[in-house]
Structure 1
Amino acid sequence: MKTDTPTAETGQHGTAVRRGRPRSEAAEQAIFTAVEDLMADGNTLSELTIEGIATAAGVGKATIYRRWPNKEALLVDVVGRLEEPVPEPTGGGAREDLIAMVDYIRRRGLAKRTRWVLKAALGQMHGLPELHAAYLERVVKPRREVGLHLVRQAIAEGVIRDDLDVELLGDLLMGPILYRSILSDDTDLEDPDLSRRLVDTVLDGVAPR
């Protein structure tokens, strides 16, 4: 007699027990933390290996490969995770949203561990073209698009002249705070009024004549 192939086993109380291991958030957190710790200890991106990461995380290599096809994909997720989500619109108009965006970068720069790991990773990515390209596509590009959207919003609101290069304006607004976050020390970022002063200085120069 033909029987159906079982897809689950039955426990002692007749309850279906699913086969396979569920995706473990704890394992993922351990893997992310292991990569951050290894980098904080001075390991370069090229020195990191799946085997070394698995050992540091206390998981098997198969656990990593079930989630990421290779080391590069894992590292992009690790670095992307260090980047906090961009702020939601404030509802106060383009100027307030630009200040919030710049302040998001300022506060990120004050997170010492995150800042150190990001600086180390970004400084080494140029030697790893595939990783660098993936980081630009998955992390940098979406955030840049948010900034450019805010610039276009400011133009539409009449805060910025409409005869200027949108991408150049994005660099003018975000560049200074990125420079301080990556190359300066904490004292250059601690002023909570810095973001407002930076945005207002740029807006004053690009306001409609």
Structure 2
Amino acid sequence: MSAPGSASRAAGPASVPAAGAAPAGRRGRPRSEAIERAIVDTVVRLLEEGVPLSELSIERIARTAKVGKATIYRRWEGKEALFVDVVRSMEPVDPPLPGTSVRDDLVAMVEMLRRRGLAKRSSALLHNVFAQMQSYPQLWDMYHHTSVVPRRERMDEVLRRGIASGEIRADIDFDLLGDLFVGPMLVRTVLRPDGKPEAGSAERIVDAVLQGVRPPR
């Protein structure tokens, strides 16, 4: 996304969450994807028009989307769960890991971190939504558990594979190990707003860290 008016289009289909992830708070039997997409698109449009999260009630969303409130509640437990799906729809979708090597999988994950960081920086709408989310602990926690935690768990699986294969030392604190790979990209995308991590930076970060965490010969 590069502008508020294109938030629901630049990152892919509006209601499709990250690959392999179940939509947050979804319940009941499978429903019409077209209706779900229309509801998510409605929320995005209201956000584009400047409506703050605090004023986005289920009643207002249902009225604008021309659906009944029950239609929304059959799909989401409440507006927090709906908002999580909306935010995930605006983020770049995580592709499947290549699975060719530990290094390639790590590069893919750090590269997606770069793309998400650039998306948040370039999209005024996404940046604004994340800023508002900080004021809603329940919403922020739900997003963290349905989006951030699965990504961290996926990286942990790859790191354990690298330790088991002897490509990564086993004597490093495991939480620190993950931070070593994601930290440099977070610094470049979050703490350096005037900088722009270029293509290829994920490979350089992963290769530099791997060189330092390989078992001694």
Give the TM bin, normalised by the shorter chain: 0.7 to 0.9
- 1:48 is aligned to 2:56: yes
Distance 1:179 1:118 in 2: 19
> Contact between 2:120 and 2:126, CA under 8 Å: does it hold in 1?
no
Unaligned runs of 5+ in 2: 1-29
Q: Choose which of 71, 76, 79 in structure 1 pairs with 2:87.
A: 79
Distance 2:115 2:200 in 1: 12
- 1:130 is aligned to 2:138: yes
Paired residue type of 2:209: V
By how many angstroms is 1:75 displaced?
1.0
> Contact between 1:173 and 1:198, CA under 8 Å: does it hold in 2?
yes
Distance 2:179 2:67 in 1: 42
> Contact between 2:120 and 2:127, CA under 8 Å: does it hold in 1?
no
- 1:143 is aligned to 2:151: yes
By how many angstroms is 1:205 displaced?
2.4
- 1:176 is aligned to 2:184: yes
- Name the CA shift for 1:170/1:115 in 2 (closer, same or farther; >3 Å): farther
Residues 1-209 of structure 1 mapped to structure 2, 5 A cutoff: 23-111=31-119, 115-182=123-190, 184=192, 188-189=196-197, 191-209=198-216
1:77-131, CA deviations, whole angstroms, 9 ceiling, x for partnerless residues?
A: 2223334553323232111110011112223344469954443333333321221
> Contact between 2:80 and 2:139, CA under 8 Å: does it hold in 1?
yes
- Name the CA shift for 1:30/1:160 in 2 (closer, same or farther; >3 Å): same
Distance 2:215 2:107 in 1: 19
Matched residues, number? 187
RMSD: 2.7
The residue that corresponds to 2:24 in the other structure is none
Unaligned runs of 5+ in 1: 1-21
Q: Radius of gyration: which is bigger?
A: 1
User: Identity across aligned pairs (percent)?
Assistant: 50
Return the TM-score normalized by structure 2: 0.73
Paired residue type of 1:153: R
Paired residue type of 2:71: T
> Contact between 1:115 and 1:182, CA under 8 Å: does it hold in 2?
no
By how many angstroms is 1:193 displaced?
0.9
Paired residue type of 2:144: L
Paired residue type of 1:156: A
Looking at both structures, which has the greater relative contact order when contacts are Cα pairs under 8 Å and sequence separation is at least 6? 2
Distance 1:133 1:181 in 2: 22
1:34-74, CA deviations, whole angstroms, 9 ceiling, x for partnerless residues?
A: 22222233333223211222233333333222322321121
Return the TM-score normalized by structure 1: 0.75
> Contact between 2:87 and 2:126, CA under 8 Å: does it hold in 1?
yes
> Contact between 1:97 and 1:150, CA under 8 Å: does it hold in 2?
yes
By how many angstroms is 1:171 displaced?
1.6
- Name the CA shift for 1:41/1:154 in 2 (closer, same or farther; >3 Å): farther
- Name the CA shift for 1:198/1:131 in 2 (closer, same or farther; >3 Å): same
